[in-house]
Amino acid sequence: GQQLNQSPQSMFIQEGEDVSMNCTSSSIFNTWLWYKQDPGEGPVLLIALYKAGELTSNGRLTAQFGITRKDSFLNISASIPSDVGIYFCAGQLTGNQFYFGTGTSLTVIP
Amino acid sequence: EPEVTQTPSHQVTQMGQEVILRCVPISNHLYFYWYRQILGQKVEFLVSFYNNEISEKSEIFDDQFSVERPDGSNFTLKIRSTKLEDSAMYFCASRRDSLRQPQHFGDGTRLSIL
């Protein structure tokens, strides 16, 4: 299957700091999605991106679909304790299959 | 807001037994998916389903797995003869249509094989 590499693998930050994480692949994707997963729960959609270069915000979250279509990043501004969780990117090539990244674990220290 | 619901939340099964995991997708959605997540690892695609047939499947989805939409609302994943390595969270997801619509996930079924 396709490999989507997320970095960093984990982050420990102080409350109020900004966060940046990214997702890269050797393949060209048509769609990029960012999800957050809390322990014992399913992934919850944060942001969906459908066009190269697209920059989309959802509250304190901003994500961009890379121009090369091989990467995407997610920024979280002014982090708060409830931002804790694992963040996954997911990409869609053609067809009906989505590939998930390896995840970035975020810990926010109050 | 409508959501994907999965039952049971936790299933414990003896190795070699059959297990059926159930999902009720969002009602106006047309595309359905099953994913697996082994503890501490990433979410892995198993199968996608559209128009009452499998549209894509991964190499994980071997002959032991099958999916069905028996009654127009439920979407089930059957594992015929479970193995220890089938222990994982299984997530169902659905999507409205193919035009720029994201997947929405259920909260998953934790499958424990003894």
The pLDDT score that the predictor gives to residue B2 is 72
Contact (Cβ atoms closer than 8 angstroms) between residue A108 and residue A79: yes
Q: Which residue type sits at A16?
A: G
Size of interface A-B (CB pairs under 8 A): 60
Answer yes or no: do B105 and A88 touch at CB < 8 A: no
Q: Which two tokens stand for residue A62?
A: 């901003």
Contact (Cβ atoms closer than 8 angstroms) between residue A104 and residue A85: no
- The 10s digit of each residue's pLDDT in A81-106 is 999 999 999 998 877 788 999 999 99
- The 10s digit of each residue's pLDDT in B1-14 is 779 999 999 999 99
The three-state secondary structure class of B15 is coil
Q: Which residues of chain A are within 8 Å of residue B50 when distances are taken between CB atoms?
A: 96
CA of B87 to nearest chain A CA: how many angstroms apart?
A: 14
Please check the confidence at residue A6 and state whether its pLDDT lies above 90.
yes
The pLDDT score that the predictor gives to residue B98 is 66
The pLDDT score that the predictor gives to residue A95 is 73
Q: Report residues of chain B scoring pLDDT below 50.
A: none
Q: Which two tokens stand for residue A7?
A: 């970095």
Answer yes or no: do B42 and A35 touch at CB < 8 A: no
- The 10s digit of each residue's pLDDT in A25-76 is 998 999 999 999 998 888 999 999 999 999 999 999 999 999 999 999 999 9
Cβ neighbours around A54 below 10 Å, total: 16
Angular region, A103: left φ>0, alpha ψ -120 to 50, beta rest = left
Answer yes or no: do B108 and A31 touch at CB < 8 A: no
At residue B84, what are phi and psi to the nearest 5 degrees? -55, -40
